[in-house]
Structure 1
Amino acid sequence: MSRFYRRIVLSVFFLFLVTGMISPAQAQSDSNGGGYWLPNNKEKIEKATKLMKQGKSVEEIGIKQDQIQKKEGIQTLDKLMEEDQQSDTTYRANMDPPIKTADGWTPPDFDYDHILTTEECQRSPDSSSETGYIKNRYSFCWSHVATYQVPVKCIGGFCFYEGVQFQFTEIGYGSNQSRKMRVYYTLDDILVTHPSLNGAKLKIDMVCESKVNPGDCKEDPDFPPTERTIAQWKNTNFSTEIFTSEAPPPTDANPDQLGYMEFWPKLTLTHAPRKFKKSIDGIKQTVRYDSAKYMFAFPNQYFWQGAVFSKATPIFNVPVTKPEFSMLAEAGQHWKFAMDHPDQTKPQMDGKKIPGAVGDSTLTRMYPKRHQDEYNRNRNKTRRTCDREFRDEDRTGKQCDEYPFASTWEGSATNGSDNFSVRMISSESNGAAGTWLGAWYAYDRILDGDTFNVQVEAPEKIATIRSEGQPQDGQDNRSSDNFTIGNIPSYATKLQWKIVDGPTNAKFDVMKDISFGIDETIFNDLTDGSETEIKKSEDFYIARPEDTDGESFTVEVYAIP
């Protein structure tokens, strides 16, 4: 090129920059195009979509091309089980209540609580995270916006693109009956910036990798990867892949015939006329298979094989405030009290710490028939402790309840100290709780050695405040010092206000202390037992008390389900 023409090209290029038709970032754009997962940020998605429609690179706003997942090969079973137990993700198991029959308490029928729609998946904030949303051991999902940019023309180092964009959602389903898992995926909101891209082919392949045994990851040939043109995906926007696991022989090191598999989506867009082919990979997720023969719920429910999403710690959820769960109230209240107030439980011990609460250390299941001596030690120590602690009480119609459970390694004898609690509760509640716990072990496939937390959905006191019977001296409204409402349990939906000392027919407001401003009234006309929405602050106070005859009173605030 002559010096004259080079100057013309540079002048035109400079003019483009000055007038904003291209940006400096475009001048460095990739002539090969790219594939991208857009950040889970509404503003960035909108900006990236706008750039794509303008034919500009989404890399202008700092979005980088996707990195391809790498296979890591076979790993040890101990390592994979340890990774499961180190997961920060938790989920609450939801079960129906036990049923009273002529033969005693029986568990409810097992029922999958699956993610049923893409909308349900996307409502969860975790659905677009690096771990995805694990609703429970049998339902997982991940949803993200994918963008491909196909270069159309590159001049002088800068390029213009045509683009394809869509919302990709995958939902994984485990099983409590077989060593099989299924992945259902959809494409929604498909957008192309040029009609020619309707003919581009998109292939979706769920890649899987065996982690312990060669047979951990077998693709069902009847459900292969799916390749369609974009136009065809618009007409049929979903597909399915299925994986199975061969059970290895049982051994002393692997009696439950565990297998592990990792899987992730690989999306490949091919546009032959532009000689474009790019792949992007989604996040990895882990599936654990087992053939544990002791997954049994009395009297006749058997779950001898399963496939679960194991990178989440189960929470044994006990909603005792619901009327249909009233038979569990005594047991659940004991468990909650033991976790919240270990120093006030029997047997007494200085510095006692009782594990199991969400956010605290976990409990670990012990299968009694596999560890009969240790289980018997727990039961025997609990029995001796109850005989000693309650020897002077009338125990008619009652049984000794222990927490942590005898079927855990944190039980009375196997925890290595006296970090446990015993309480006399009705035989009915004790029997219903034992039946329900046993059913949950089977329903959630809590294997020997699996860790879990316990959460009792019961009212939890979060604040206590003393109020004068009238506004304090020099105050128009304030009748108490400031108090804090915080640390609300995750299951709570409301606050309940109780007057526990003083005139029980008192009425009062709650205000917020605002520095350098006018204090705000948060709740009006509260009385004993009033329920309100949840509000948090360190600067609440009781205000404008009425019907007190000038007497002071104490208010307790509870977070309730």
Structure 2
Amino acid sequence: MTALLAAAALGMPVSLPAQASAADPQGAYASVHDAQAQRLVSVVPESAVDPMADDPYSFGECRDKAKLPGKFGVGYAFRNRFESCMVWRASMDVSEKPGLPAYGGATFRLTLLGHGQHTGGRETRFEWELDEVDPWGDWDNAKKAVFTLFLECESFGGAKCSSNAGVYAYPLADWKLYRHGGVFTLDASGSPKSTVTETGKKNPHHDDDVVSYHQSVARIQGNTWASGSHRLGFRCDQAKYISRGPGGCIFHQVDPIFHMAPVSNDAGEDREKGYPEIRKHIETAVDRTQLTYPRLYGKKIPGKVGTTQPLHRFYGKRTKETRSISNGSRTDVNRECRRYEAWRYSRKKRLNLECDEYPFAQTRENARLVNTNKATYPRPWSFSARLADGDQNGNHGRTLGAWMTTDHILEDDAFWIKLHDQPLRTTSSFTPGTRSAPRAAKDLCTHKELGGAYQCEFDMESYRFPNGTEQVWVIGPEGDVLTRWSGRDGSWSPWKSMSGVATSGVEVTDERGRQVRISVMGTDGNRWHNDRSANGTWSGWHR
């Protein structure tokens, strides 16, 4: 915990940046309200090895990680769903009266570190520092103006929270002379559930989970000028299947990702050695979907990190009806194992086998819900069933359950599965048509049989046609879709570009084996499609 810092920081006045003026020290970044930064954004955790590491940011590390859009503005960084930070740069401006141009003031940097709670209660702890106060303009007069820092809690949809932070009011000269900082807590204990989230959407969670949405608000106010405010959102809950205690709080902007990549620990042991058969089943389900049971042309299975189709938690022990759905999912999956693996299924007790399913029974994409809710999950959305070692199945189920509890995955929360040791990424928002910079060699993979160079971040996708030929797709070094196909004699064509600039892997669907369609996410955030006709020609990319 960082104590109040009071080191002298005497410095000389600094010249304004080239694009600024005395009347507008923020130059091109005149608006201190950064709408992009304040909206709820979906991000991935920084830690790819241990997303639950209890590893808070230091102030120095936060300033390195939280990138600002320019000289002024706000930047965020998230270690995981329990550790976050924010850096805000702006100016405390002084004018004769409200509405008149500023004649002087000082720029500043505010750093805010956020610490969530696993099970210790519905409160979030923050540390703050305000430093790098640099004067500009008529400092002799401006330094006497008083500016006040407020560190508050804002709640949504009828929820409540309180802040124990003080109100920090000092003349600009004192803000410059000392490095101010401290610790405060935003407490949501006893708060009712929010009826809506911070984006105004209806709260999707069950009433019993008591989910409330809040924001830490940092704002600075002067006598004649407000330097604006910035926010860091968090979510609190008291779900009994997560914690029997007083609940906890998380930074829910972070995409929950269940890591199954084979990452070794310090002892050199494979972290996933407890269930290699389960991992292989899931890898086949999301990467080689056409090889899974039940058979279905163009079959699609959700949940892979980097795609737009997550899994959603389903809590099957809440009511008699939900228990019936969970049991029904296992019944449906066992039927498929018995159908496709009859000989092994008849000896499953002797061989210590269990019928493993993916997506998991504790998701809303489980076999029973996919089979019965065709409005939400129309074909070809489906599931995969395979016989696997019973001990490994149990190990994996316990590991998944423990992760959901620790990471506060509530019912209806979206999450993804990460299978490969690939870099995590956020959703792209580049200008449509902009070609990506070529990837560095370390980010490129080569297939051991088909050769070529493609982005390791996105897996190779393949499709086998009824005549036995096969076609594969990858994302090339510059983001275009590359493809290769086999002939009936087993020979393969050279790699060919299908153009486009993709920010996701290729997904393949078909219409009962007749028309094949591939699709990718474009740089404009939309999904683009390319259709193959019966004679083998392609339509070209279209939305």
Task: Place the TM-score, normalised by the shorter chain, in its bin.
Answer: 0.5 to 0.7
Distance change >3 Å, CA 212–CA 459, structure 1 → 2: closer
CA distance in 1, matches of 2:304, 2:15: 43
**Contact 1:68–1:281 (8 Å) recurs in 2:** no
Q: Partner of 1:228 in structure 2?
A: 170
Please, which of 357, 362, 369 is the counterpart of residue 317 of structure 2? 369
TM-score by length of 2: 0.62
Distance change >3 Å, CA 127–CA 178, structure 1 → 2: farther
Q: Partner of 1:465 in structure 2?
A: none
Equivalences for 1:343-422 in 2 at 5 Å?
A: 343-358=290-305, 359-370=307-318, 371-393=322-344, 395=348, 396-416=351-371, 419-422=382-385
CA distance in 1, matches of 2:410, 2:343: 39
Distance change >3 Å, CA 317–CA 509, structure 1 → 2: closer
Shift of 1:246: 3.1
Shift of 1:331: 2.2
1:309 aligns with 2:251: yes
CA deviation string 1:204-246 (max 9, x = no partner): 21232232335x21223xx323233445444333223211113
**Contact 1:500–1:555 (8 Å) recurs in 2:** no
Shift of 1:341: 2.6
Please, which of 152, 155, 159 is the counterpart of residue 210 of structure 1? 155
1:335 aligns with 2:282: yes
Shift of 1:282: 2.7
1:238 aligns with 2:204: no
**Contact 1:118–1:169 (8 Å) recurs in 2:** no
CA distance in 2, matches of 1:211, 1:253: 16
Residue 349 of structure 1 aligns with an amino acid whose one-letter code is L
Distance change >3 Å, CA 226–CA 256, structure 1 → 2: same
CA distance in 1, matches of 2:212, 2:481: 53
Structure with the larger helix share? 1
CA distance in 2, matches of 1:389, 1:494: 39
CA distance in 2, matches of 1:161, 1:248: 45
1:455 aligns with 2:418: yes
Q: Partner of 2:17 in structure 1?
A: 49
CA deviation string 1:518-555 (max 9, x = no partner): xxxxxxxxxxxxxxxx9657699xxxxxxxxxxx9999
User: Which ranges of structure 2 fall in alignment gaps of 5 or more residues?
Assistant: 1-13, 195-204, 373-380, 424-434, 454-475, 483-490, 496-504, 506-543
Q: Bigger CA drift: 305-314 or 158-167?
A: 158-167
Shift of 1:91: 2.0
Please, which of 33, 48, 54 is the counterpart of residue 112 of structure 1? 54
**Contact 2:158–2:192 (8 Å) recurs in 1:** no
Q: Partner of 2:238 in structure 1?
A: 291
Q: Partner of 1:145 in structure 2?
A: 89
Percent identity between the two aligned chains: 22
1:324 aligns with 2:283: no
Q: Partner of 1:178 in structure 2?
A: 121
Please, which of 127, 133, 140 is the counterpart of residue 190 of structure 1? 133
Residue 162 of structure 2 aligns with an amino acid whose one-letter code is K
Structure with the larger strand share? 1
User: Which ranges of structure 1 fall in alignment gaps of 5 or more residues?
Assistant: 1-45, 70-85, 98-107, 270-275, 297-301, 461-484, 502-507, 511-533, 541-551
CA distance in 2, matches of 1:51, 1:360: 40
CA distance in 1, matches of 2:40, 2:227: 26
Please, which of 102, 110, 113 is the counterpart of residue 168 of structure 1? 110
CA distance in 1, matches of 2:259, 2:156: 31
Shift of 1:438: 0.7
**What SS does the aligned partner of 1:136 have?**
coil
**Contact 1:294–1:304 (8 Å) recurs in 2:** no
Please, which of 80, 91, 96 is the counterpart of residue 136 of structure 1? 80
Residue 140 of structure 1 aligns with an amino acid whose one-letter code is S
CA distance in 1, matches of 2:331, 2:106: 67
RMSD: 4.5
Distance change >3 Å, CA 458–CA 261, structure 1 → 2: closer
Shift of 1:146: 0.9
CA distance in 2, matches of 1:408, 1:489: 36
Distance change >3 Å, CA 335–CA 443, structure 1 → 2: same
CA distance in 1, matches of 2:437, 2:343: 39
Aligned length: 403
Larger radius of gyration: 1
**Contact 1:87–1:312 (8 Å) recurs in 2:** no
Shift of 1:161: 2.2
**What SS does the aligned partner of 1:407 have?**
coil
Shift of 1:453: 1.6
Shift of 1:118: 4.2
**Contact 2:95–2:102 (8 Å) recurs in 1:** yes
1:442 aligns with 2:405: yes
CA distance in 2, matches of 1:93, 1:397: 39
CA distance in 1, matches of 2:188, 2:361: 33
Distance change >3 Å, CA 126–CA 340, structure 1 → 2: farther
Residue 354 of structure 2 aligns with an amino acid whose one-letter code is Q
CA distance in 2, matches of 1:162, 1:238: 24
**Contact 1:293–1:304 (8 Å) recurs in 2:** no
Distance change >3 Å, CA 88–CA 237, structure 1 → 2: closer
Distance change >3 Å, CA 174–CA 324, structure 1 → 2: same
CA distance in 2, matches of 1:447, 1:423: 27
Distance change >3 Å, CA 118–CA 230, structure 1 → 2: farther
CA deviation string 1:421-451 (max 9, x = no partner): 1223333432332121111101110112212
1:425 aligns with 2:388: yes
Residue 49 of structure 1 aligns with an amino acid whose one-letter code is P
Shift of 1:89: 0.6
**Contact 1:204–1:227 (8 Å) recurs in 2:** yes
CA deviation string 1:442-497 (max 9, x = no partner): 1110112212122212479xxxxxxxxxxxxxxxxxxxxxxxx999999x964454
Residue 259 of structure 1 aligns with an amino acid whose one-letter code is S
